[in-house]
C-alpha cells in the first residue's frame, strides 16, 4: 500500500503538468483579456505546483510541468509584447499610410474590441 505522501506528491506533479499544457494551449488559442494572456497565470501555477511536488526530490512529471509552465509564460509574454508593439506602431502616421482604409477599419475594430473586453 502506498503512503499518502507519495500519492499527494503525484497529484501535485500531475497538476503541474496539466497546468503547463493548459498554459501553452491557452496562449495559442485564447485572445488576451484584460491585457494579460490567460496562459501566463496558468504557467505560474504550473511552475509553483512543480516546485511544491519537488520537496522530497524532483521527478519526471514535475520537471515536465515546470518546463511547460516556463514555456507557457514565455509564449504569453511574447504574445503580449507583440500586441503592445502593434498598438504602438499604429499610432505612427507613416505606418498608417501603408494600409488601405478598409484594413484600418478592421484594425480599429480589433483594437476597440481588445480594449473593451
User: Which pLDDT does position 33 carry in this prediction?
Assistant: 57
| Cell representation of residue 68 | 511547460
User: Which pLDDT does position 106 carry in this prediction?
Assistant: 83
* Residue ranges, the chain, pLDDT below 70: 1-2, 5, 8, 30-36, 56, 114-117
Count of domains for the chain: 1
User: Which pLDDT does position 73 carry in this prediction?
Assistant: 93
Which whole-number Å values give the CA distances from 2 to 6, 7, 9, 59, in the listed order?
7, 7, 12, 17
Please, are residues 29 and 69 in contact by the beta-carbon 8 Å criterion?
no
Choose among 63, 61, 60, 27: nearest CA to 43.
27
pTM: 0.74
Range of the domain at 64: 4-116
Amino acid at each position: 500500500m502506498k503512503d499518502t505522501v507519495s500519492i499527494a506528491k503525484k497529484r501535485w506533479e500531475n497538476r503541474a503538468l496539466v497546468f503547463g499544457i493548459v498554459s501553452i494551449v491557452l496562449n495559442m488559442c485564447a485572445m488576451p483579456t484584460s491585457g494579460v494572456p490567460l496562459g501566463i497565470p496558468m504557467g505560474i501555477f504550473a511552475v509553483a505546483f512543480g516546485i511544491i511536488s519537488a520537496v522530497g526530490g524532483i521527478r519526471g512529471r514535475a520537471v515536465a510541468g515546470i518546463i511547460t509552465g516556463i514555456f507557457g509564460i514565455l509564449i504569453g509574454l511574447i504574445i503580449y509584447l507583440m500586441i503592445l508593439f502593434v498598438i504602438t506602431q499604429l499610432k505612427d502616421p507613416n505606418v498608417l499610410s501603408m494600409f488601405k482604409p478598409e484594413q484600418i477599419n478592421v484594425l480599429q475594430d480589433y483594437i476597440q474590441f481588445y480594449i473593451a473586453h
